[in-house]
Amino acid sequence: MRTIYIRKLRFEEARTKLERELHEAFMDGETYVEILHGIGEGVLRRMAIDYVTSSGFLKLVESDPMFRQNPGSTRVEILAPSKEYINRLKA
């Protein structure tokens, strides 16, 4: 599972990095991604959740803070074709 670290980044930097790395994970055929946003005031967490819910190829796995192992992270499922299919598209 890939981990995307956006903790301690400014909002725009974090959004750009999150978008880029989620698209890379999609193209690499990843199934799950963990976004490490930290706890703080919750700005990066809200941004990450808003981005995931607005994307057509992503699904939140853990949205309730009571059931999460790490409150400073959000787990996301990538709804993508298999790695083999993506590799054929790349070739």
pLDDT digits (tens, 9 = 90+) for 20-74: 999 999 888 888 999 999 988 999 999 999 999 998 888 888 655 565 578 889 9
Amino acid in the structure at residue 41: E
One-character DSSP codes across 12-66: HHHHHHHHHHHHHHHHTT-SEEEEE--STTSHHHHHHHHHHHH-TTEEES---TT
Mean pLDDT of 1-26: 94
* Cut 0.75: pTM above it: yes
